[in-house]
Chain A
Amino acid sequence: MSTVGIVIVSHSAKVAEGAADMVRQMVGSEVPLAWCGGDPSGGLGTSVEAILTAIDRAWSDAGVALLVDLGGAETNSEMAIEMLPADRQARVVVCNAPIVEGAVIAATEAAGGSSLDVVRRTAEELSPQ
Protein backbone atom coordinates (compact mmCIF):
# COMPACT_ATOMS: atom_id res chain seq x y z
CA MET A 1 0.00 0.00 0.00
CA SER A 2 1.46 3.35 -0.98
CA THR A 3 1.60 6.45 1.21
CA VAL A 4 -0.93 9.26 0.83
CA GLY A 5 0.66 12.34 -0.78
CA ILE A 6 0.43 15.88 0.61
CA VAL A 7 0.09 19.08 -1.44
CA ILE A 8 0.39 22.53 0.12
CA VAL A 9 -1.35 25.39 -1.71
CA SER A 10 -0.77 28.92 -0.43
CA HIS A 11 -1.18 32.37 -1.94
CA SER A 12 2.46 32.87 -1.02
CA ALA A 13 5.27 30.73 -2.42
CA LYS A 14 7.24 31.41 0.76
CA VAL A 15 4.46 30.17 3.03
CA ALA A 16 3.98 27.05 0.90
CA GLU A 17 7.69 26.29 0.78
CA GLY A 18 8.08 26.97 4.49
CA ALA A 19 5.21 24.65 5.38
CA ALA A 20 6.72 21.99 3.11
CA ASP A 21 10.05 22.46 4.89
CA MET A 22 8.37 21.84 8.23
CA VAL A 23 6.79 18.65 6.94
CA ARG A 24 10.14 17.41 5.63
CA GLN A 25 12.03 18.17 8.82
CA MET A 26 9.37 17.09 11.29
CA VAL A 27 7.90 14.10 9.54
CA GLY A 28 10.55 12.95 7.09
CA SER A 29 10.89 12.11 3.45
CA GLU A 30 8.68 9.04 3.13
CA VAL A 31 5.59 11.10 2.30
CA PRO A 32 5.17 12.30 -1.31
CA LEU A 33 5.07 16.07 -0.93
CA ALA A 34 4.73 19.06 -3.24
CA TRP A 35 3.78 22.70 -2.87
CA CYS A 36 2.75 25.64 -4.97
CA GLY A 37 2.07 29.30 -4.35
CA GLY A 38 1.97 32.65 -6.08
CA ASP A 39 0.24 33.58 -9.30
CA PRO A 40 1.75 33.12 -12.79
CA SER A 41 3.22 36.65 -12.76
CA GLY A 42 4.98 36.20 -9.44
CA GLY A 43 2.58 38.00 -7.10
CA LEU A 44 0.39 36.56 -4.39
CA GLY A 45 -2.19 34.13 -5.65
CA THR A 46 -2.87 30.55 -6.61
CA SER A 47 -3.19 28.99 -10.02
CA VAL A 48 -5.09 25.93 -11.15
CA GLU A 49 -2.26 24.97 -13.48
CA ALA A 50 0.30 25.00 -10.66
CA ILE A 51 -2.03 23.05 -8.37
CA LEU A 52 -2.50 20.37 -11.04
CA THR A 53 1.27 20.10 -11.43
CA ALA A 54 1.75 19.80 -7.68
CA ILE A 55 -0.91 17.09 -7.42
CA ASP A 56 0.87 15.23 -10.17
CA ARG A 57 4.22 15.47 -8.39
CA ALA A 58 2.86 14.27 -5.08
CA TRP A 59 0.70 11.61 -6.74
CA SER A 60 0.20 8.39 -4.91
CA ASP A 61 -2.21 5.55 -5.62
CA ALA A 62 -3.40 6.00 -2.05
CA GLY A 63 -4.50 9.53 -2.95
CA VAL A 64 -3.47 13.09 -2.24
CA ALA A 65 -4.55 15.44 0.57
CA LEU A 66 -4.49 19.18 -0.12
CA LEU A 67 -3.87 21.80 2.55
CA VAL A 68 -4.86 25.29 1.44
CA ASP A 69 -4.95 28.78 2.89
CA LEU A 70 -7.48 31.48 2.01
CA GLY A 71 -10.59 31.53 -0.23
CA GLY A 72 -9.08 31.54 -3.71
CA ALA A 73 -6.73 28.72 -2.82
CA GLU A 74 -9.72 26.57 -1.99
CA THR A 75 -11.68 27.62 -5.09
CA ASN A 76 -8.71 26.94 -7.34
CA SER A 77 -8.01 23.61 -5.63
CA GLU A 78 -11.58 22.45 -6.10
CA MET A 79 -11.40 23.52 -9.73
CA ALA A 80 -8.13 21.63 -10.18
CA ILE A 81 -9.63 18.47 -8.68
CA GLU A 82 -12.55 18.63 -11.11
CA MET A 83 -10.12 18.87 -13.99
CA LEU A 84 -8.26 15.69 -13.03
CA PRO A 85 -8.93 12.47 -14.93
CA ALA A 86 -12.04 10.78 -13.51
CA ASP A 87 -10.10 7.92 -11.91
CA ARG A 88 -8.00 10.41 -9.91
CA GLN A 89 -10.75 12.82 -8.89
CA ALA A 90 -12.09 10.63 -6.14
CA ARG A 91 -8.64 10.21 -4.66
CA VAL A 92 -7.87 13.90 -4.02
CA VAL A 93 -9.39 15.84 -1.12
CA VAL A 94 -9.08 19.35 0.30
CA CYS A 95 -8.64 19.19 4.10
CA ASN A 96 -10.56 21.75 6.10
CA ALA A 97 -7.61 22.47 8.38
CA PRO A 98 -5.05 25.20 9.05
CA ILE A 99 -2.41 25.01 6.34
CA VAL A 100 0.81 24.62 8.35
CA GLU A 101 -0.43 22.54 11.27
CA GLY A 102 -2.68 20.57 8.95
CA ALA A 103 0.19 19.73 6.63
CA VAL A 104 2.35 18.40 9.47
CA ILE A 105 -0.50 16.43 11.03
CA ALA A 106 -1.70 15.04 7.70
CA ALA A 107 1.84 14.03 6.75
CA THR A 108 2.36 12.33 10.11
CA GLU A 109 -0.83 10.37 9.65
CA ALA A 110 0.10 9.54 6.05
CA ALA A 111 3.57 8.37 7.10
CA GLY A 112 1.90 5.84 9.39
CA GLY A 113 0.24 4.28 6.35
CA SER A 114 -3.27 5.61 6.99
CA SER A 115 -5.87 5.88 4.25
CA LEU A 116 -6.75 9.18 2.58
CA ASP A 117 -9.96 9.38 4.57
CA VAL A 118 -8.15 8.94 7.89
CA VAL A 119 -5.47 11.45 6.89
CA ARG A 120 -8.15 14.01 6.12
CA ARG A 121 -10.11 13.36 9.29
CA THR A 122 -6.99 13.63 11.44
CA ALA A 123 -6.01 16.98 9.89
CA GLU A 124 -9.56 18.20 10.38
CA GLU A 125 -9.46 17.35 14.10
CA LEU A 126 -7.48 20.59 14.36
CA SER A 127 -10.35 22.76 13.16
CA PRO A 128 -12.64 24.39 15.70
CA GLN A 129 -15.67 22.14 16.14
Chain B
Amino acid sequence: MDRGATLREALLKAVAETIDRHAEELTALDQAIGDGDHGINMKRGFEAALADSANLVPKPWPDFLKGVGMTLVMKVGGASGPLFGTFFLTLGKELPAEPGQADIVRAIRAAIVAVQARGKSERGQKTLLDVMIPVVEALEAGEADLTRLVGVANGAVDATKPIRAIRGRASFLGDRSIGHIDPGARSSALMIAAVAQVLKEVA
Protein backbone atom coordinates (compact mmCIF):
# COMPACT_ATOMS: atom_id res chain seq x y z
CA MET B 1 0.00 0.00 0.00
CA ASP B 2 1.42 3.42 -0.90
CA ARG B 3 1.85 6.18 1.62
CA GLY B 4 -1.38 7.98 0.59
CA ALA B 5 -3.45 4.84 0.98
CA THR B 6 -1.97 4.16 4.41
CA LEU B 7 -2.86 7.68 5.49
CA ARG B 8 -6.38 7.44 4.07
CA GLU B 9 -6.93 4.19 5.90
CA ALA B 10 -5.67 5.64 9.17
CA LEU B 11 -7.82 8.75 8.82
CA LEU B 12 -11.00 6.87 8.00
CA LYS B 13 -10.42 4.46 10.86
CA ALA B 14 -9.66 7.24 13.35
CA VAL B 15 -12.72 9.29 12.41
CA ALA B 16 -15.03 6.27 12.44
CA GLU B 17 -13.65 5.17 15.81
CA THR B 18 -14.08 8.54 17.47
CA ILE B 19 -17.67 8.77 16.27
CA ASP B 20 -18.28 5.23 17.50
CA ARG B 21 -16.72 5.95 20.91
CA HIS B 22 -18.76 9.13 21.33
CA ALA B 23 -22.03 7.93 19.83
CA GLU B 24 -23.80 7.89 23.19
CA GLU B 25 -22.54 11.32 24.10
CA LEU B 26 -23.70 12.71 20.73
CA THR B 27 -27.07 11.07 21.18
CA ALA B 28 -27.40 12.59 24.66
CA LEU B 29 -26.56 16.04 23.27
CA ASP B 30 -29.13 15.55 20.55
CA GLN B 31 -31.76 14.34 22.99
CA ALA B 32 -31.44 17.68 24.75
CA ILE B 33 -32.19 19.83 21.71
CA GLY B 34 -32.97 17.57 18.75
CA ASP B 35 -34.56 14.21 18.14
CA GLY B 36 -31.81 12.13 19.74
CA ASP B 37 -30.62 10.30 16.68
CA HIS B 38 -27.42 12.17 15.83
CA GLY B 39 -25.07 9.68 17.51
CA ILE B 40 -26.64 6.59 16.03
CA ASN B 41 -27.00 8.20 12.61
CA MET B 42 -23.38 9.30 12.42
CA LYS B 43 -22.23 5.95 13.74
CA ARG B 44 -24.20 4.10 11.09
CA GLY B 45 -22.73 6.31 8.36
CA PHE B 46 -19.11 5.92 9.38
CA GLU B 47 -19.51 2.21 10.06
CA ALA B 48 -20.72 1.88 6.48
CA ALA B 49 -17.74 3.89 5.20
CA LEU B 50 -15.36 1.78 7.28
CA ALA B 51 -16.94 -1.41 6.01
CA ASP B 52 -16.20 -0.15 2.49
CA SER B 53 -12.63 0.74 3.45
CA ALA B 54 -10.95 -1.85 1.22
CA ASN B 55 -12.72 -0.30 -1.76
CA LEU B 56 -12.34 3.37 -0.76
CA VAL B 57 -8.80 3.57 0.58
CA PRO B 58 -6.88 2.62 -2.61
CA LYS B 59 -8.64 5.39 -4.54
CA PRO B 60 -6.86 8.72 -5.00
CA TRP B 61 -7.83 11.50 -2.57
CA PRO B 62 -10.61 13.06 -4.67
CA ASP B 63 -12.39 9.75 -5.26
CA PHE B 64 -11.78 8.55 -1.72
CA LEU B 65 -13.37 11.67 -0.25
CA LYS B 66 -16.27 11.57 -2.69
CA GLY B 67 -16.81 7.92 -1.77
CA VAL B 68 -16.92 8.74 1.94
CA GLY B 69 -19.30 11.65 1.27
CA MET B 70 -21.61 9.51 -0.82
CA THR B 71 -21.73 6.83 1.87
CA LEU B 72 -22.63 9.43 4.50
CA VAL B 73 -25.36 10.89 2.28
CA MET B 74 -26.91 7.49 1.73
CA LYS B 75 -26.48 5.93 5.15
CA VAL B 76 -26.62 8.62 7.83
CA GLY B 77 -30.23 9.69 7.36
CA GLY B 78 -31.63 12.80 8.97
CA ALA B 79 -30.22 16.15 7.92
CA SER B 80 -26.67 15.27 9.05
CA GLY B 81 -26.16 12.88 6.13
CA PRO B 82 -26.49 15.51 3.41
CA LEU B 83 -24.59 18.11 5.48
CA PHE B 84 -21.52 16.03 6.37
CA GLY B 85 -21.85 14.18 3.06
CA THR B 86 -21.74 17.47 1.16
CA PHE B 87 -18.64 18.45 3.13
CA PHE B 88 -16.73 15.35 2.04
CA LEU B 89 -18.14 15.32 -1.50
CA THR B 90 -17.00 18.91 -1.99
CA LEU B 91 -13.55 18.22 -0.56
CA GLY B 92 -13.29 15.43 -3.11
CA LYS B 93 -14.39 17.69 -5.95
CA GLU B 94 -12.02 20.50 -5.01
CA LEU B 95 -8.81 18.63 -4.20
CA PRO B 96 -6.25 17.63 -6.82
CA ALA B 97 -4.91 14.07 -6.72
CA GLU B 98 -1.72 15.21 -4.96
CA PRO B 99 -2.94 18.04 -2.75
CA GLY B 100 -0.61 20.52 -1.09
CA GLN B 101 -1.24 22.60 2.03
CA ALA B 102 -2.80 25.50 0.10
CA ASP B 103 -5.08 23.14 -1.86
CA ILE B 104 -6.35 21.63 1.36
CA VAL B 105 -7.21 24.94 2.98
CA ARG B 106 -8.96 26.16 -0.16
CA ALA B 107 -10.90 22.89 -0.48
CA ILE B 108 -12.02 23.05 3.15
CA ARG B 109 -13.32 26.58 2.63
CA ALA B 110 -15.18 25.47 -0.51
CA ALA B 111 -16.65 22.52 1.38
CA ILE B 112 -17.89 24.81 4.15
CA VAL B 113 -19.50 27.12 1.60
CA ALA B 114 -21.25 24.08 0.10
CA VAL B 115 -22.49 22.98 3.54
CA GLN B 116 -23.81 26.49 4.15
CA ALA B 117 -25.73 26.36 0.88
CA ARG B 118 -27.04 22.86 1.57
CA GLY B 119 -28.31 23.79 5.04
CA LYS B 120 -29.27 27.36 4.06
CA SER B 121 -27.44 28.31 7.19
CA GLU B 122 -24.81 30.72 8.42
CA ARG B 123 -22.36 31.07 11.23
CA GLY B 124 -23.88 31.85 14.63
CA GLN B 125 -26.94 29.62 14.22
CA LYS B 126 -25.80 26.82 16.52
CA THR B 127 -24.69 24.36 13.86
CA LEU B 128 -21.57 22.52 12.74
CA LEU B 129 -20.61 25.69 10.86
CA ASP B 130 -19.81 27.33 14.20
CA VAL B 131 -16.90 24.91 14.52
CA MET B 132 -15.88 24.54 10.89
CA ILE B 133 -15.70 28.25 10.12
CA PRO B 134 -13.37 29.30 13.01
CA VAL B 135 -11.10 26.38 12.17
CA VAL B 136 -10.85 27.22 8.47
CA GLU B 137 -10.28 30.86 9.36
CA ALA B 138 -7.38 29.83 11.57
CA LEU B 139 -6.00 27.73 8.71
CA GLU B 140 -6.40 30.60 6.29
CA ALA B 141 -4.55 32.86 8.74
CA GLY B 142 -1.62 30.47 8.51
CA GLU B 143 -2.11 28.46 11.69
CA ALA B 144 -0.43 25.09 11.15
CA ASP B 145 -0.08 23.84 14.72
CA LEU B 146 -2.44 20.88 15.02
CA THR B 147 -2.86 21.11 18.79
CA ARG B 148 -3.87 24.76 18.54
CA LEU B 149 -6.30 23.99 15.71
CA VAL B 150 -7.97 21.33 17.84
CA GLY B 151 -8.14 23.93 20.62
CA VAL B 152 -9.92 26.33 18.26
CA ALA B 153 -12.43 23.59 17.40
CA ASN B 154 -13.10 22.63 21.02
CA GLY B 155 -13.46 26.25 22.07
CA ALA B 156 -15.92 26.76 19.23
CA VAL B 157 -17.99 23.78 20.41
CA ASP B 158 -18.40 25.34 23.86
CA ALA B 159 -19.28 28.64 22.24
CA THR B 160 -22.39 27.05 20.71
CA LYS B 161 -23.86 26.65 24.19
CA PRO B 162 -25.32 30.13 24.69
CA ILE B 163 -26.62 30.36 21.11
CA ARG B 164 -30.35 30.20 20.48
CA ALA B 165 -30.87 27.73 17.63
CA ILE B 166 -32.64 29.07 14.56
CA ARG B 167 -31.81 26.27 12.13
CA GLY B 168 -32.51 22.55 12.26
CA ARG B 169 -34.75 20.66 14.61
CA ALA B 170 -33.26 22.48 17.63
CA SER B 171 -34.87 25.67 16.38
CA PHE B 172 -38.29 24.32 17.41
CA LEU B 173 -37.16 24.71 21.02
CA GLY B 174 -36.40 28.42 20.69
CA ASP B 175 -34.96 29.73 23.94
CA ARG B 176 -34.85 26.24 25.41
CA SER B 177 -32.02 25.42 23.00
CA ILE B 178 -29.83 27.88 24.95
CA GLY B 179 -27.34 26.23 27.31
CA HIS B 180 -26.81 23.11 25.24
CA ILE B 181 -23.91 22.23 22.98
CA ASP B 182 -24.86 21.59 19.36
CA PRO B 183 -24.35 17.88 18.53
CA GLY B 184 -23.24 18.59 14.95
CA ALA B 185 -20.66 21.04 16.26
CA ARG B 186 -19.42 18.43 18.71
CA SER B 187 -19.11 15.70 16.08
CA SER B 188 -17.23 18.11 13.80
CA ALA B 189 -14.72 18.85 16.57
CA LEU B 190 -14.35 15.13 17.29
CA MET B 191 -13.51 14.47 13.65
CA ILE B 192 -11.05 17.37 13.56
CA ALA B 193 -9.31 16.03 16.68
CA ALA B 194 -9.11 12.53 15.19
CA VAL B 195 -7.64 13.83 11.94
CA ALA B 196 -5.15 15.98 13.84
CA GLN B 197 -4.03 13.00 15.93
CA VAL B 198 -3.35 10.90 12.83
CA LEU B 199 -1.46 13.74 11.14
CA LYS B 200 0.67 14.24 14.25
CA GLU B 201 1.60 10.57 14.22
CA VAL B 202 2.71 10.61 10.58
CA ALA B 203 4.53 13.95 10.89
Contact = CB atoms under 8 A, between A and B. Distances in A.
Contact, chains A and B (beta carbon distance below 8 A)? yes
Interface residues of B, number: 21
A40 B79 contact: no
Interface string A35-59: 0000111011111110000000000
Interface string A59-85: 000000000001110011011000100
Given A72-B169, A79-B73, A79-B86, A48 B81 contact: yes
Size range of the interface on A?
10 to 19
Contacts of A46: 77-78
B73 A72 contact: no
Interface string B76-94: 0111011101100000000
By CB atoms of chain A within 10 A, which of B79, B83, B85 has the most? B79
Contacts of B73: 48, 79, 83
A76 B169 contact: no
Interface of B (DSSP majority class)? helix
B81 to A, nearest CB: 6
Interface of B: 35, 37, 40-41, 44, 73-75, 77-79, 81-83, 85-86, 118-119, 167-169
27 contacts: A39-B41, A39-B77, A40-B75, A43-B37, A45-B35, A45-B41, A45-B77, A46-B77, A46-B78, A47-B77, A47-B81, A48-B81, A48-B82, A49-B74, A70-B169, A71-B169, A72-B78, A72-B79, A72-B168, A75-B82, A75-B83, A76-B81, A78-B82, A79-B73, A79-B86, A79-B118, A83-B73
